[in-house]
Amino acid sequence: MQRSEEELRVGTREREAGAMRVRKRVRTERERVRVPKRREEVHVERVPVERREASEAEIGEDEFVMPFLEEEVVVEKRPVVKEEIRMRKEVVEDEEIVERDVRKEEIEIDDQTERGLRHSRRRGEHRDERS
């Protein structure tokens, strides 16, 4: 006769436990920026002149053009890297306690010989009892 017991064999195996997804999306926002700018203004002023002889004055059509400048706002957009996302994996060790019921056979020996010895054995233990 053989006596048997169940033994727990515990190990590990790898399985996929999930995934991490990083997604980039574009969101549009309106930005408001106050921009100082300059401009030239032209003022026309009439100034009376002292009397001059007509010989110095010429009568006829004439035109004078004075350009004036102003700054205009120029908007330019360009991409600028602000942040990098890096992903890395790290192995972390921890421990889990596993409990399961195991079955074990017990053998009882009842010696009923003329000597009157009674032996009882459970789970590999030996015990003598004298009557």
Per-residue pLDDT of the chain (131 residues; tens, 9 = 90+): 899 999 999 999 999 999 999 999 999 999 999 999 999 999 999 998 887 665 666 788 989 999 999 999 999 999 999 999 999 999 999 999 999 999 999 999 888 887 755 444 454 554 444 44
**Of 12, 88, 72, the residue nearest 39 (C-alpha):** 72
The answer to whether 42 and 67 are in contact (CB under 8 A) is no
Residue 74 forms part of a structural domain: no
What pTM does this model have?
0.45
The answer to whether 102 and 7 are in contact (CB under 8 A) is yes
Residue 9 forms part of a structural domain: no
Residue 111 forms part of a structural domain: yes
**Of 72, 83, 77, the residue nearest 29 (C-alpha):** 77
Residue 124 forms part of a structural domain: yes
pLDDT score at 58 = 74
Residue 121 forms part of a structural domain: yes
pLDDT score at 52 = 65
Question: For the chain, how many structural domains are there in total?
Answer: 1
Residue 55 forms part of a structural domain: no
**Of 128, 104, 108, the residue nearest 118 (C-alpha):** 128
Write the CA distances from 76 to 28, 32, 59, 79, integer angstroms. 16, 14, 52, 10
